[in-house]
Amino acid sequence: MTQAKSPFNVVFVLFDNVTQLDFTGPAQFLCRMPGAKVHVAAASLDPVMTDVGFGIMPTVTFEDCPQADLLCLPGGLGVAPALSDDALIAFVRAQASAAQWVTSVCTGAFILGRAGLLQGRRATTHWGYTNLLPMVGALHEDARTVFDGNVVTAGGVTSGIDFALTIIAHLHGEDVARSLQLNFEYDPAPPFAGGTPVTSPPHIVQAMQTRFYDARSAEMEAALVATA
């Protein structure tokens, strides 16, 4: 266990069409971590539109953001176009150079990869995109949260909450993490077995792949090739 300084700056980087739960899930837990101060960074202070149609207000711009102790990149439908945003990638690269922890949730891993931060690392992302991780030099590991040195990647969407609790336990001990888990009554009991390709019925997996992830994966691949 390591001790975090106070304040411990947690910086989330937002872009248009971000998946709000990739951000708000871990943010809700990390903001209660002892000594933590959460910053929401974007290119400007204008609302950042999420992929469910409402906006989130940034608290800082890239120019005036403090140095992150923990940097986090959420994912979402906006990741593919964000890969060609040179200002965003430069900000991520600069912040990561001095951050204690460099992290992502879901397809935010590809922004880390685009910034050169996953080369030779074990990592994970949403199941629909794991085959693309080698394009950013990463080796896929099948887990909800993957630690490789100071780089931590989480799987799809809700994995961000597990990632946050794991980081909190690492920094402050299991009792603190368990207290926050109790505080937010995080006791998942989904109405259906599933949530991963292994635990879901094959016809459901195939339907989701055909209806959504084949096209989205191809879009991500094209964006990675274009920005390589």
**Under 8 Å between Cβ of 158 and 142:** no
Q: If pLDDT is split at 50, 70 and 90, which confidence band does 199 have?
A: very high
CA dist 184 → 78, 107, 161 (Å): 28, 25, 11
pTM (whole model) above 0.85: yes
- Alpha carbons within 13 A on the beta-carbon side of 25: 24
Could you say which DSSP state residue 115 is in? Answer: T
> What residues are annotated to the active site?
106
Domains and CATH numbers, the chain: 8-226 (3.40.50.880)
At 58-112, the pLDDT tens digits run 999 999 999 999 999 999 999 999 999 999 999 999 999 999 999 999 999 999 9
